[in-house]
């Protein structure tokens, strides 16, 4: 794993409004890009993507895409790894918000994001009740509208 630190300005020019970014390609060592002063949680999240993810094996076999369910599951697992690394038990709300942002940035529609995240959370042993789904749905719609520039 290679780590590249960039100034916040250079990072934003290259990767936009993300906390950190990991490049993973077949036959190439994973590279983590970090902007300026990155939080420990963000670094741990990217370390998961670069070193712990089951996707690494699939990438080495030639996989170049992920479906929305795979994206959500990968992000949930990375958030869990980061939370445990800073001494928290399980994912907290703002980490789920981060997963929503990743999926919106990848171009997924709100209903796909909701179903993918709830399925991934259930697969990882989290309880997903109607109140949670309703709250998450409202958050997704709001962030999606913001991204689309709709008021």
Q: pLDDT (tens digit, 9 = 90+) per residue, 106-125? A: 899 999 999 999 999 999 99
What's the CA dihedral at 141, 150, 21, 93 to 10 degrees? -30
Hey, where are the domains in the chain?
A: 1-63, 66-151
pLDDT at 65: 76
Digit-coded pLDDT (tens) for 15-74: 887 888 899 888 889 999 999 888 999 999 999 999 999 888 888 888 877 899 999 999
- In three-state form (DSSP H/G/I as H, E/B as E, the rest C), the secondary structure along 51-93 is HHCCHHHHHHCCCCCCCHHHHHHHHHHHHHHHHHHCCCCCCCH
pTM score, two decimals?
0.86
């Amino acid at each position: 794993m290679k780590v590249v630190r960039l100034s916040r300005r250079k990072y934003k020019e290259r990767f936009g409004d993300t906390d950190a970014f990991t490049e993973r390609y077949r036959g190439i060592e994973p590279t983590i890009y970090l902007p300026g002063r990155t939080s420990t949680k963000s670094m741990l999240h990217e370390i998961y993507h670069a070193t712990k993810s089951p996707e690494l094996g699939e990438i080495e076999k030639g996989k170049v895409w992920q479906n929305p369910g795979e994206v959500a599951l990968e992000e949930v697992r990375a958030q869990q790894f980061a939370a445990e690394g800073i001494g928290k038990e399980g994912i907290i709300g703002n980490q789920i918000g981060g997963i929503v942002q990743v999926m919106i940035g990848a171009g997924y529609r709100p209903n796909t994001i909701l179903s993918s995240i709830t399925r991934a959370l259930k697969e990882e042993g989290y309880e997903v009740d109607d109140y949670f789904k309703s709250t998450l749905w409202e958050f997704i719609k709001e962030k999606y509208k913001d991204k689309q520039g709709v008021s």
